[in-house]
Amino acid sequence: MRMLSGILAVSTLACAKVGRSDGRTAGQLTAEWKDSAGRVVHWSAPAEARWCARDTLLEITALRNDSGVGLAVFARDSLRAEGYPVFQSGLFAPWRPQATAAVRWLTPNTLKGFESAAGQVVITRGSSRHASGTFDLRAKLTTGPDSLRLTGGFDELAIEPAPPVCGRANKPGPR
């Protein structure tokens, strides 16, 4: 009987870790955005996190069908719990910490690409093995004036090493 009670307690704890009261699931990225037509989109997908040691960069990607969300978090020297201001994608800025983002969204009529313009990514728990956090940012359509506000989070993403040739081509040099 004690053995059965122990097994039940362990399974309950394991289930509690995977499902959370805020709707996030370990290993997934959840996002919500509102399009220009006022439609609210609730989206989630399994996420991958890769650490590029040569550029102290954490790349988070989540893909489902033809839609996806990507975050690039540029840490000072190692991933830690702190806020990372979001800057416009495509612009080089040597300072740290900072982040950028991109959204690829398949609508019933077209495939839309958005790049970050402003906002913040917050790493709430970060280590060399796992990352959890939230984001609240504004993204602009790459081919026009449309924009969206993207909010969401990710929980307990297992961090894998990035390939040896990773990071930005124009990364900042040592200080």
Q: Would you say residue 15 lies in a domain?
A: no
| pLDDT tens per residue, range 59-98 | 999 999 999 999 999 999 999 999 999 988 777 777 889 9
Residue 166 falls inside a structural domain: no
Give domain status of residue 11, yes or no: no
Q: Is residue 93 domain-resident?
A: yes
In a domain, 73, yes or no: yes
**Residue 6 covered by a domain:** no
Q: Quote the CA–CA distance of 28 and 154 in Å, as a whole number.
A: 6
pLDDT of residue 105: 87
Q: Which of 147, 162, 144, 164 is nearest to 72 (CA)?
A: 162
- What integer pLDDT is reported at residue 164 of this predicted model? 84
* 18-33 pLDDT, tens digit each: 444 455 688 999 999 9
d(CA 84, CA 131): 14
- Higher-confidence position of 128 and 14: 128
The arithmetic mean of pLDDT across residues 2-13, rounded, is 34
pLDDT of residue 171: 57
CB 106, CB 41: distance < 8 Å: no
What pLDDT is stored for residue 10 in this prediction? 32
Question: Are 161 and 48 a contacting pair, CB within 8 Å?
Answer: no
Split into its structural domains, the chain has a count of 1
- Residue 112 structural domain: 20-161
Pairing between β-strand 82-86 and β-strand 57-64 as defined by DSSP bridges: unpaired
Residue 12: per-residue pLDDT: 32
138 touches 148 (CB < 8 A): yes
Asked if omega into 97 is within 30° of 0 (cis), the reply is: yes
Q: Hey, is 171 helix, strand or coil?
A: coil
Domain assignment present for 66 = yes
**Residue 91 CB coordination number (10 Å):** 7
CA distance 51 to 159: 6
Q: What is the pLDDT of residues 46-65, one digit of tens each?
A: 999 999 998 899 999 999 99
Separation of alpha carbons 101 and 88, rounded Å: 8
91 part of a folded domain: yes
